[in-house]
Amino acid sequence: MPRPQADAGMTLIEVVVALLVFAIIASGIVAGMTTIARMTSDDRSRVVAANLAAEQTDLARAIGDPFKVTTATTTQSFPTPDGATRAFTIKRSISWVSSSGADISCGSGTNLFFLRVHVLVTWDGELPTTAPVQTDTVLAPAGRITDPTSGTIAVSVVGSDGLPMAGVSVSIVPTSGGSSLASQPDPTNVDGCTYETKVAPGTYAVTIGKSGYIDVNQNTAPSKPVVVTVGTTQSVSFQYDRGATFPVVYANTYTPAGQAMAAHLPTDLDTTFINSTAGLYITHSPAASILLHPFSTGYTAVAGVLGTSSAKTTCAAVDPAGWSAAKVSGTDLAAGQRGGAVAAAPGATAADLDVPMGVVWVKASAAGYLKAVQSNASPLKGQPDCKVPSTYVFGNVLKNGTVAVALPYGTWTLYSGSTAAAQVTPIVGANLSSPTNALPNNVSGAGVVTLDPRAAG
């Protein structure tokens, strides 16, 4: 008899392996087809982007006046073959080109030669390996800024962050020679620029303004001179931004021991506001708040005239930070310190800006007027020099009793009088004391008081 044959067929393992091989092959095919579809779609989008870039370039050329071409970003959407829509972002940026070929801003101070217009187009779903579409063109200003009988003034305004500031009004007025303009230039555009062409040769004052704005020199309507010559462009640049409000607190560290009396301030008190970038800014009467340019580095403040705008020191003694550590009358005094720097964003209100001051208690037997005269006499060890002393008046603040008055740091002699014009009588040392001094003996019998910012330590 013939022997029975074994059943022929595939085992379960063989089936699973076959299915796995088929899945791998199918996945590759699907991935390839998907990539081809995406690349095809991306190619179609690139064609649309190229047309949009060319259209934007033609539009810039059609404007004609290069001074009217500005930075702009727009979005357009178009249907796709699958019934969806695809958004395209068109970014137009500009820069002036100097005669040497370098890209410059309108406020560079270099003659403007050509305007370079750069267009960049991107789209939704753009493949990572696909570069955006970019085009460049240049616009020649022709006779607008190269007129052989006149010149051009270009004005540039940036904010505290260095970015263009739009919507700032500009006024150009002749100050020597030249001639009045038929009309003033437009406010600054989105690039922070505005221009005036066909300007007769001469000297002009360029002034800018916008409500609530202030420049680096704390001017609300800053002005700069410019000399126009034929066939050239003269550039004027400003840093100008919304002013920040700084509440000012004088003698904040003064805490009378057991007495509830506020310290009077001189009516003509100088205050020096200090910024590491702009230097010094001095006001000449105390105020509850002040509008300042919003430097990110902030401000510290000192009562009195620390120096001039050129940073030449006039009375270093008013600055607490100028007092060095020393041993006075057997007591170690630590170096003096200013209040901390305070900053605020454009248009915002800052935290309190402390102005440290010394306080004197003045005892009088009758009402009257008070005056304080600063001097450089008999300085304490570690006390800075005071080359240009100040004089301050308080008005009719004296009374039959004790009053507190605040003064910048340094050495002072106080005078009283029955009228504002008769403040000539020195107040004796027995009627003066300073609760803010670490040492109680900084008052002489002749009524000379030294206000020392240093703490014992």
Asked if 160 and 298 touch (Cβ cutoff 8 Å), the reply is no
Asked if 277 and 293 touch (Cβ cutoff 8 Å), the reply is no
Dihedral (CA of 30, 36, 39, 41) sign: negative
Helix, strand, or coil (residue 80) = coil
Closest CA to 149 of 232, 248, 83, 52: 232
Classify the phi-psi angles of 55: left when phi > 0, otherwise alpha if psi is within -120 to 50, otherwise beta: alpha
Locate 11 and state its tokens.
């085992």
Locate 341 and state its tokens.
């720097």
User: Would you tell me how many other CB atoms lie within 10 Å of the CB of residue 25?
Assistant: 10
Residue 457 CB-half CA count within 13 A: 9
Closest CA to 384 of 290, 321, 291: 321
CA gap 277, 300 in Å, rounded: 12
User: Would you tell me how many other CB atoms lie within 10 Å of the CB of residue 231?
Assistant: 14
CA gap 108, 336 in Å, rounded: 43
Tokens 């995406």, located at residue:
38
Give the pLDDT score at 311. 47
Give the pLDDT score at 4. 55
Locate 49 and state its tokens.
């982007």
Give the pLDDT score at 35. 56
Residue type at position 422: A
The yes/no answer on whether domain 144-242 falls in CATH 2.60.40.10 is yes
DSSP character for 124? T
- Strands 368-375 and 410-417 come out as antiparallel
Helix, strand, or coil (residue 288) = coil
Partners of 238 in beta bridges: 157
Give the pLDDT score at 309. 47
Residue 203 has φ and ψ, to the nearest 5°, of: -105, 135
Name residues of the chain where pLDDT drops below 70.
1-10, 30-40, 64, 81-82, 109-113, 141-147, 255-260, 308-313
